Structure 1
Amino acid sequence: MTQSRNDFDELAYNPTFKWSFLAPKYWGTWIALFFACLFAFLPHRLKLSLSKFIAKQAVKLKSGAAHRARVNLSLCFPEKSESEREQIMYNLYVTASMFMLTFPLLSLRSKEWLENNTEIRGFDNLKNVLDHDENVILLVPHTWSIDIPAVLLASRGLPVSAMAKGQKNKVADWLMHRQRVQYGGRVYDRSVGIKPFIKSVRKDKYLGYYLPDEDLGRQHSVFVDFFATQKATISGLGRLSKLSQAKIVPLFAMINTATGKFELDFYPALPFPTGDEHQDARVMNECIEHYVSEKPEQYMWILRLLKTRPDSTKIY
């Protein structure tokens, strides 16, 4: 299942360290990184207590992130009471805080540590496709632990190819990229187009990493049901599957706040392409609904998930 790869691609995104990263405007980032690394080594019980404390404060703040999460939850779960949605908010912040307190260990500890602290279910759903020498695009919703599968799979000799948008903070962008590709893999900026991503999956045999819940605007989306509302959903996954000659394998990543360990669920390959982009989009959303309904606190509700509306209203 593994093979030697040369991860270099001149079109891939590859930020490098610059001396300007030591300028005063980035000192806050370096200080935050220092404390993040210290907190990462706290015992799990202390990290959980700290996460709960942070969550209690976060739900009280009138921040943009909290506002977006409440808007998203109210539109997606109108049948739930306000207290039920607030409980999801609290659990969401506990989950996010626990992940942030643990995340630095991906770079500070070994691949053996990552393996021992990750529970994997349904891996045969991926292995069986690979054993038939078929290409794979992983369908990975935006959970807090979204980066974990890419790092873990690469550590097993199965690096992924992904498309991403660079961070505004150049130090954070450089550090995150180094962590993501520390065991191999490629990341492409959206500005280079989709062709390098397709080539990496079809010809170079990387696992594609596809984020189905991004809102890329009206031009690149179709409106289909998403929980109790409608969402501008990326169109063209069926076409991408065909061009890449790849099976679409859903993957859901979580962090268990009770244990502090990561959990990955691989599901059977989806029936792509269906031949209908609206149907493809709805199948993707159904996947997200299935995962998130069981573990809503794992999902990044703070994102502008519903930014583009059918009636062009500005809900945020």
Structure 2
Amino acid sequence: MIDKKTPPNHPSKFSLKLLNPKYILGWIGVALLYLVSLMPFRMQMAIGRAIGRFLYILGPKRKEIARVNLEMCFPEKNQHEIEEILKENLINTGVGIIEMGIAWWSSDRKIDDLTIHYKNKEILESNEGILVLAKHTTHVEIDVRLMSRGLKMGGMYRPQKNKIINHIMINARNKYIEGAFHHKQASQTLDYVRNGKKMIYAADQDFGSKYSIFVPFFKEMASTITIPHGISQERFKVVFIKINRKKNGYEVEAKEIEPKEDQLEFLTNMNKAYTDSIIESPEQFLWVHRRFKTRPDGGDVYPIWKRREKRRQNERKSS
């Protein structure tokens, strides 16, 4: 069991290897991101949208994944409407890059100024273990900062390929959340909740079939992780946090997922909380992830990604 008094921080120690000339562009990018983090919010958003317009032109593979997801989740929309959401989504992804800098380097005062309101925050203020469900948005980094403001929460991280970003991200998160777990430390995160702590956990992605069942996500059956239901059955709260960006900041709302004995019923309600939130601002959801990579019939709805993986396998065999 995790010591309740010892947050599981995993600081990233600075290495002289990060000063290797091959990382020079990375450091320049970080320096620019820091400078932008000092600017007024509206100027930051304008710069982010400019970056996003380039992302819409580039990255055809991820864009195709997002398009497939949108078509599956919004079958009632025509191609023009789908393309408009897709374009705005990629623009918001560019804004998300700027929002990383805001999350990492902004003062608590600025974060408070950007929080338009935090509805039902009192749900999270009790001294009990809570699984805090987060949504994968284009602004997920600042979401963590917003939802944990004034509260002691643990979080998770997935190591980034960019070593500079990885170093800064881990150390920044350790300043505004109580502790950060590696994404493969699932059992430790559950013990963290059992020890009376609050743990941020995103349950809106496809984690495969091992610990999942198929549950409606919009009008599609999607592989859905069962961990939240297991936690609720241990009499711990499961609380969904909705965060939407507006012109002058962010709206945050907490909502408890009602405990249910029936696993399918509970997870259906959980997914509905996710999809209801997504519908409010579909352009802010992270559509570039393969939400439907595990299919009930074993099929594949992402042919462009399958071709990419096959090509990479052939390259590894020939090298």
Compute the TM-score of the two structures, normalised by the length of structure 1.
Answer: 0.85
Q: State whether residues 131 and 228 of structure 2, in contact with CA within 8 Å, keep that contact through their aligned partners in structure 1.
A: no
- CA gap 1:232/1:128 in 2 versus in 1, 3 angstroms: closer
Which residue does 1:200 correspond to in 2? Answer: 192
Which residue does 2:266 correspond to in 1? Answer: 280
State percent identity of aligned pairs.
25
Structure 2 residue 36 is matched with structure 1 residue 39: yes
Of 72, 77, 87, which aligns to 1:75? 72
- CA gap 1:214/1:62 in 2 versus in 1, 3 angstroms: closer
- CA gap 1:108/1:221 in 2 versus in 1, 3 angstroms: same
Alignment of 1:110-129 (within 5 A): 110-123=107-120, 126-128=121-123
**Whole-angstrom CA distance in 2 between matches of 1:53 and 1:14:** 33
Of 125, 129, 133, which aligns to 1:130? 125
Q: 1:38-67: per-residue Cα shift (whole Å, max 9, x none)?
A: 233344444444444444443333522211
Structure 2 residue 258 is matched with structure 1 residue 271: yes
Aligned-residue offset at 1:149: 4.2
Which residue does 1:314 correspond to in 2? Answer: 300
Q: State whether residues 7 and 185 of structure 1, in contact with CA within 8 Å, keep that contact through their aligned partners in structure 2.
A: no
Which residue does 2:160 correspond to in 1? Answer: 167
Of 102, 105, 111, which aligns to 1:105? 102
The aligned amino acid for 1:26 is Y
**Whole-angstrom CA distance in 2 between matches of 1:189 and 1:233:** 20
Alignment of 1:61-72 (within 5 A): 61=58, 63-72=60-69
The aligned amino acid for 2:58 is L
Structure 2 residue 81 is matched with structure 1 residue 89: no
The aligned amino acid for 2:176 is Y
Give the 3-state SS of the residue equivalent to 1:114 in structure 2.
helix
Q: 1:265-314: per-residue Cα shift (whole Å, max 9, x none)?
A: 222x1112x22322232122111111011110110011121121222223
Give the 3-state SS of the residue equivalent to 1:191 in structure 2.
coil
**Whole-angstrom CA distance in 2 between matches of 1:298 and 1:60:** 18
**Whole-angstrom CA distance in 2 between matches of 1:121 and 1:153:** 8
**Whole-angstrom CA distance in 1 between matches of 2:148 and 2:6:** 11
Q: State whether residues 135 and 247 of structure 1, in contact with CA within 8 Å, keep that contact through their aligned partners in structure 2.
A: yes
Q: State whether residues 154 and 185 of structure 1, in contact with CA within 8 Å, keep that contact through their aligned partners in structure 2.
A: no
Alignment of 1:205-284 (within 5 A): 205-243=196-234, 245-256=235-246, 258-259=247-248, 261-267=249-255, 269-272=256-259, 274-284=260-270
Aligned-residue offset at 1:138: 1.1
Aligned-residue offset at 1:71: 0.9
Unaligned runs of 5+ in 1: none
Q: State whether residues 129 and 135 of structure 1, in contact with CA within 8 Å, keep that contact through their aligned partners in structure 2.
A: no
Q: State whether residues 215 and 232 of structure 1, in contact with CA within 8 Å, keep that contact through their aligned partners in structure 2.
A: yes
The aligned amino acid for 2:19 is L
Structure having the larger proportion of residues in helix:
2
Q: 1:132-166: per-residue Cα shift (whole Å, max 9, x none)?
A: x433211111112323343245441x221233322
**Whole-angstrom CA distance in 1 between matches of 2:124 and 2:296:** 37
Unaligned runs of 5+ in 2: 303-319
Q: How many residues align?
A: 299
Q: State whether residues 239 and 254 of structure 2, in contact with CA within 8 Å, keep that contact through their aligned partners in structure 1.
A: yes
**Whole-angstrom CA distance in 1 between matches of 2:152 and 2:77:** 40
The RMSD of aligned alpha carbons is 2.3
**Whole-angstrom CA distance in 2 between matches of 1:15 and 1:251:** 28
**Whole-angstrom CA distance in 2 between matches of 1:121 and 1:111:** 15
Give the 3-state SS of the residue equivalent to 1:121 in structure 2.
strand
Compute the TM-score of the two structures, normalised by the length of structure 2.
Answer: 0.84
Aligned-residue offset at 1:80: 0.3
**Whole-angstrom CA distance in 1 between matches of 2:18 and 2:264:** 45
